[in-house]
């Protein structure tokens, strides 16, 4: 099992300047409005967004569980069990996101460059295609901005 770079920490305080994020979560971060799978998940997501907006982070983009997943109740033995076949389905979302944004799996980018790419490159139809039937769609800021 691949070790997740940032382990669970009840203090929500140990993110370094480099962070690993699975590609479709880069979109979730833009659309997050405080809804999520558990209190711990929401607290971690709020904390992560706060620090991403404060410091110049370098992001390694991947297509597997990340530090956001590590606070999610659906992650078991480093695999997403949110629904049937979810890890496979979510990998597909990650890969579509990378393709549309012109990102390479395993490569690193300044976070602000990724945000620019999202603003410039993602259309409403592409977002619908990537996110499919995501249960959080009606709560997503990015989705409501683009539709």
Site string for ligand SF4, 95-114 (x = CB under 6 A): --------------------
42 beta partners: none
- Residue 80 near ligand SF4 by CB under 6 A: yes
Distance between CA atoms of residues 108 and 19, nearest Å: 9
Of the ranges 11-19, 65-73, 107-115, 130-138, which one interacts with ligand SF4 (CB under 6 A)?
A: 65-73
- Residue 48 near ligand SF4 by CB under 6 A: no
Among residues 65, 51, 56, the alpha carbon closest in space to that of 13 is found at 51
CB nearer ligand SF4, residue 48 or residue 80: 80
> What angle do helix axes 23-31 and 111-121 make, rounded to 10 degrees?
80
- Residue 69 near ligand SF4 by CB under 6 A: yes
CA distances from 142 to 32, 87, 99, 124 (A): 8, 23, 18, 9
Closest approach of Cβ 98 to ligand SF4, in Å?
Answer: 15
In the complex, the residues that contact ligand SF4 under the rule CB under 6 A are: 37, 65, 68-69, 72, 74-75, 80, 82, 86, 90
């Amino acid at each position: 099992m691949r070790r997740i770079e940032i382990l669970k920490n009840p203090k929500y305080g140990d993110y370094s300047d480099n962070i690993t994020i699975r590609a479709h979560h880069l979109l979730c971060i833009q659309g997050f409005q405080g809804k999520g799978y558990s209190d711990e998940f929401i607290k971690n997501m709020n904390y992560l967004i706060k620090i991403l907006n404060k410091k110049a982070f370098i992001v390694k983009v991947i297509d597997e569980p990340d530090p956001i997943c590590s606070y999610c109740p659906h992650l078991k033995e480093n695999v997403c069990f949110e629904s049937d076949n979810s890890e496979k389905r979510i990998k597909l979302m990650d890969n579509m996101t990378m393709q549309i944004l012109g990102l390479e799996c395993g490569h690193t980018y300044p976070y602000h460059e990724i945000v620019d790419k999202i603003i410039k490159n993602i259309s409403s139809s592409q977002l619908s295609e990537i996110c499919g039937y995501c249960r959080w769609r009606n709560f997503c800021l990015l989705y409501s901005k683009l539709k």
